[in-house]
Structure 1
Amino acid sequence: MNPYFLPKHNEQMMIQLIQKYCRNEFALIRMTETMLKKSTIDASGPLRNILRESQIVDYNNVLQGPDNKILKNSHVLLNSDILTMKTSYYRPMTKKGDPRIWLYDFKRYIDPDTLIYFTVVEDTLVVIPLIATDLLDNLLSQYFVKNNDIFILEELKQRLSIISNQWIKSVSPYKRSPKDVGETLERCLGISPNSIAEADFKGAIELKCKRAGLRNLDTLFSMVPNWEISVYKSSTDIMLKYGYPSKKHSGFFDLYVTVGNVPNNQGLFLRADDDDQIIYQKSEIDGRLEEVCSWEYSAVKEKLQKKHPKTAWLVAEEKIIGGEIHFNYNQIQLTQRPIFSQFTTLINQGIVTYDWRGRVRKDRTGYKDKGHCYRIAPRNRSLLFGETSDLLFENN
């Protein structure tokens, strides 16, 4: 995303409010004096994507010149009003015919530096200027209709409430492991351990568990890069290049690092490129920039949305009873479907990160990993998943 389009704090709060009602993909464009003066907006990569995917317009099929412009109506949510504005989609004769969009009469209502939120609802472009107003919540509730898988959600709530006041023996009662708290819950609910892309509970709700008191990051999903488009062709290659001698396993190289939006000790950092539609992991050491590996937007989006149609984040108390480990699942937070364009924005803000977690010998044998994965801090869940709801169950 263009850094100029990144939301400020007050704008981020308005985005979260919008996403309380609408979890569709979106694009952000900040208005400039030039845009308003010339009555034209450059259609950014994210905006072109949602317009194409919703079949409003595919700029690849739009010829250059004013005679080929496409006119459709859009809805603009402004203050307390829902306005219908004629919108033109076109490619000018100048330059390479870069895709443009303009909403007629838009500049009557908008000042320079206003951040605009674009999304699509029922084949109509919806435009929301992020202007502070006490009326926004009411306006959004009038326009959008919330859509929940209410029956599946209620069934999960009921089943969790039944077990929440019980101390349940761990699947590994004599040895602690980070996975035990989740696998114990899955066994109790009759769910097979899940390493596939779909959500745990009836394919509709992902279950994420951790022990109470831990402050580690939430794992969103595990996913290695697309090696076919990457400079390095395997996790082993990356571990041997950027890893360090293991302190626990003689002869091995470890790579247990978090990669964010600024270079870490290995020089690794992430950058989501909306134009290329690729998440790049690069390295910068002593001023030398090197491309390392890549993920295609389309594959990451599919993985994220299949894994998290809705998510239940559970916290379990741990207790030793009769010499065996037991869990009590007494806290749950429910979140909605993530928005992929928000996911890539959070990568560029350093809020969503990627963890390498594995080791290998120098001769490339003995490879082992704990799942290289995208992660987010619990305090930032709402930035990706929107409105959250918390349930607390009392212990016996």
Structure 2
Amino acid sequence: MIHMRSFNEFEKRNIEYLVNLNVDFTQVQVTATGLHKSILDATAPMRTYLREHRIHDYGLQKKGQDFKVSKPTVIHTGIKAIETRTSFYRPETKEGDPRLWIYKLKDFSEPNDIYAIIAQSPNQLHVVDLTKIDIQKFCETSEVNPLQELVFGLSEIRDSISIELLHKLFKFRNEWIDTDLSADTAIGRKIESLLGISMNASQLPDYKGIELKSFRDARPNIKKNLFCKVPDWDISKLKSAAEIVEKYGYNSNGIKSYRNTLYSKYPNSQNLRLNVNYLDALLEIEEDEILGNDFKKISDVAVWRLQTLHQQLLTKHHETFWIEVNSRKIENGKEQFMLNKIEHTRNPIVSQFDILLEQSLITVDLLLGRPKKDSLGLIKKGGDSVIFKIKKNATSLLFPESRIYNFLTTTLNSEQNLCMVTIQNRFSPQKMRSR
């Protein structure tokens, strides 16, 4: 079930700005019906957020108006901060669907506006209209305002061992580097070799807790690999990759395999689709039936526990260097590459992961039934792969503290100091007020 419409570009910029400043938040879409009836649905991601921030736990709440709970809330218009309250309740219906309402919201909202809900403390909420308010404009101004105070007060920016790794990589700036093999993974393996990292299949990050992800040049539609994770076969209808290939695979060069991408918004060419099942905390692969411009589920295929995926994301990408390179072919057909830029991210916001899956900004590649031997009959490395990928332009929606180092313009002074003037940040600290 998709809980809100797709973000527009303005909303994406607002979300990116908050994520970059490590501001944790949840979102809600205000519908026309909701405005008329003064009702907002407390979706599963919102309920999780409210519970984790000790604002409210619907699981402990009884049905009916007598058990309604309210918390102090501030509605931010940019210039002003309007004090109000938010009520949390479960109606006396069979399901008792969790609901909330932010009083005075009708004075500022239109149907389909999307709001960020921010917990400052267990007893204080803030709401900001992502559809209308230019958050960066109000934060990066010399005129102090309540929204600026809130955002900067919640922001955390830290340094880490990344300086050491940066200096090692900058030793190879402006050099064309030969790869050792012809493969999609050739550049990543070569970079690890230059850093003295041995090849392994560990699920842990590559360099002292920092994950390394490399990709070729600046193609706008490229996707970045997040991690590999097969479904939880123990709770899946189909119990292996082989069963998926048997039921949904197709013949290619005499070999039956399955190679395709899964999205949440629509089925792929084999009518398989992802579904984020918040109620059971699962990411599901389902087979759909196409009904004109719509579709409906007809069969289960496989599932992941969302908790497992969240843990994999946090473990693999606690801190990451996304290394972009320029590549070329030389006369003997070998590939060379030059380091172009690094996007440095830390601490993904887990609550965004599920939403980006729903928005199809995170997708899953199934590469199943690939040959186990090469043309010479030798055993090939690798095998079946299930790869979670994020669109290049959506990385900043998942990772806060995103910073870009350009190998042509960034200057490194010493092991403990970076020349920040030449670093291209996702936001502009020089415009921000001193905290």
CA contact (8 A) 2:205 2:211 kept: yes
In structure 2, what is the equivalent of residue 210 of structure 1? Answer: 215
In structure 2, what is the equivalent of residue 273 of structure 1? Answer: 277
In structure 2, what is the equivalent of residue 17 of structure 1? Answer: 17
In structure 2, what is the equivalent of residue 90 of structure 1? Answer: 89
Matched length:
383
Deviation at 1:341, TM superposition (A): 3.6
Q: Per-residue CA shift, 1:292-335, capped at 9, x if unaligned?
A: 11112211112122222233221334576999765432322234
CA contact (8 A) 1:236 1:360 kept: no
2:192 alignment partner, SS class: helix
Deviation at 1:122, TM superposition (A): 4.4
2:156 to 141, 147, 166: 147
Q: Per-residue CA shift, 1:166-218, capped at 9, x if unaligned?
A: 45554xx3x31222211221232233435333332322x32111344777532
CA contact (8 A) 1:22 1:144 kept: no
Residue 107 of structure 2 corresponds to residue 127 of structure 1: no
1:151 alignment partner, SS class: coil
2:261 alignment partner, SS class: strand
2:160 alignment partner, SS class: helix
CA-based RMSD:
3.2
Deviation at 1:387, TM superposition (A): 7.1
Q: Structure 1: which 5+ residue stretches go unaligned?
A: none
Deviation at 1:142, TM superposition (A): 2.7
Q: Which amino acid aligns with 2:35?
A: L
Deviation at 1:259, TM superposition (A): 1.8
Residue 192 of structure 2 corresponds to residue 220 of structure 1: no
CA distance in 2 between partners of 1:198 and 1:126 (Å): 36
CA distance in 2 between partners of 1:79 and 1:23 (Å): 17
Q: Per-residue CA shift, 1:315-360, capped at 9, x if unaligned?
A: 3345769997654323222344433343333333333221111326
Q: Which amino acid aligns with 2:260?
A: V
In structure 1, what is the equivalent of residue 421 of structure 2? Answer: none
> Measured at CA, do residues 88 and 180 of structure 1 come closer, stay the same or move farther in structure 2, by a change above 3 Å?
same
Deviation at 1:49, TM superposition (A): 0.9
Q: Per-residue CA shift, 1:20-64, capped at 9, x if unaligned?
A: 32352x432222344334433221111111111222221111122
Deviation at 1:132, TM superposition (A): 2.2
> Measured at CA, do residues 383 and 208 of structure 1 come closer, stay the same or move farther in structure 2, by a change above 3 Å?
same
> Measured at CA, do residues 159 and 35 of structure 1 come closer, stay the same or move farther in structure 2, by a change above 3 Å?
same
Residue 208 of structure 2 corresponds to residue 182 of structure 1: no
Q: Structure 2: which 5+ residue stretches go unaligned?
A: 140-146, 292-296, 372-378, 410-435
Superposed, which structure 2 residues align to 1:336-355 within 5 Å? 336-355=346-365
In structure 2, what is the equivalent of residue 376 of structure 1? Answer: 390
Q: Which amino acid aligns with 2:212?
A: L
Residue 271 of structure 2 corresponds to residue 257 of structure 1: no
Deviates more, 1:258-267 or 1:67-76: 67-76
1:19 alignment partner, SS class: helix
Residue 25 of structure 2 corresponds to residue 32 of structure 1: no
Superposed, which structure 2 residues align to 1:250-329 within 5 Å? 252-260=255-263, 261-284=265-288, 289-316=298-325, 317=327, 327-329=337-339
CA contact (8 A) 1:218 1:375 kept: yes
Q: Which amino acid aligns with 2:340?
A: N
Deviates more, 1:7-16 or 1:231-240: 7-16
Percentage of matched positions with identical amino acids: 31
CA distance in 2 between partners of 1:45 and 1:135 (Å): 26
Structure 2 length normalisation: TM-score? 0.76
CA contact (8 A) 2:77 2:133 kept: no
> Measured at CA, do residues 101 and 380 of structure 1 come closer, stay the same or move farther in structure 2, by a change above 3 Å?
closer
Residue 76 of structure 2 corresponds to residue 72 of structure 1: no
2:364 alignment partner, SS class: strand
> Measured at CA, do residues 328 and 2 of structure 1 come closer, stay the same or move farther in structure 2, by a change above 3 Å?
closer
